[in-house]
Structure 1
Amino acid sequence: MWEQIIEAAHREFLDGGIVPIKENESFGFLVNRETLFRFKKADDVGYSSNVPTQLAMAYHDHDVDLFGLPAVSRVEVVYQLNRLETQVADIAVVARDGRHVAWSYSLLDAEPGVVELPLPVAPVEPRRAVVRPRTTGKNGSQSAS
Structure 2
Amino acid sequence: MALAEEIRAHDLINPYADIIIESIRSAWMEWLGSPFFGKWSSRGRATFVWETVMDSLKDKFKGNRDVYILDKGTTVLFVVKQEIVFRFKLADKSGRSKNVQTKSAKSFHDPELDYNLLAEGGIASDIPRVEVVYSLNKTATQIDNIKMIARDKSALVWNTSLVSTQSSFVELGNISNNTVDSEPKAKRRFKGKSTETVRKKAVGEM
Does the alignment reach a TM-score above 0.5?
yes
Q: Which residue among 99, 109, 130 is the counterpart of 1:50?
A: 99
Q: List alignment gaps of at least 5 residues for structure 2.
A: 1-48, 166-206
Query: Judging changes above 3 Å, is the alpha-carbon distance between structure 1 residues 11 and 24 closer, same or farther for their aligned structure 2 residues?
Result: closer
User: Which protein, 1 or 2, shows the higher relative CO under an 8 Å CA cutoff with sep ≥ 6?
Assistant: 2
Q: TM-score when scaled to structure 2?
A: 0.51
Report the alpha carbon displacement of residue 74 of structure 1 after superposing the two structures with TM: 0.2
Which is helix-richer, 1 or 2? Answer: 2
Report the alpha carbon displacement of residue 20 of structure 1 after superposing the two structures with TM: 0.8
**1:107 counterpart = 2:153:** no
**1:15 counterpart = 2:63:** yes
Alignment RMSD? 1.3
Q: TM-score when scaled to structure 1?
A: 0.71
**1:85 counterpart = 2:133:** no
Structure number with bigger Rg: 1
Distance 1:109 1:81 in 2: 17
Report the alpha carbon displacement of residue 24 of structure 1 after superposing the two structures with TM: 5.2
**1:74 counterpart = 2:129:** yes
Q: Which residue among 142, 152, 158 is the counterpart of 1:97?
A: 152
- The amino acid of 1:86's aligned partner reads T
- The amino acid of 1:94's aligned partner reads I
Q: List alignment gaps of at least 5 residues for structure 1.
A: 111-145
Q: Secondary structure at the match of 2:151?
A: strand
Which is strand-richer, 1 or 2? Answer: 1
Aligned length: 110
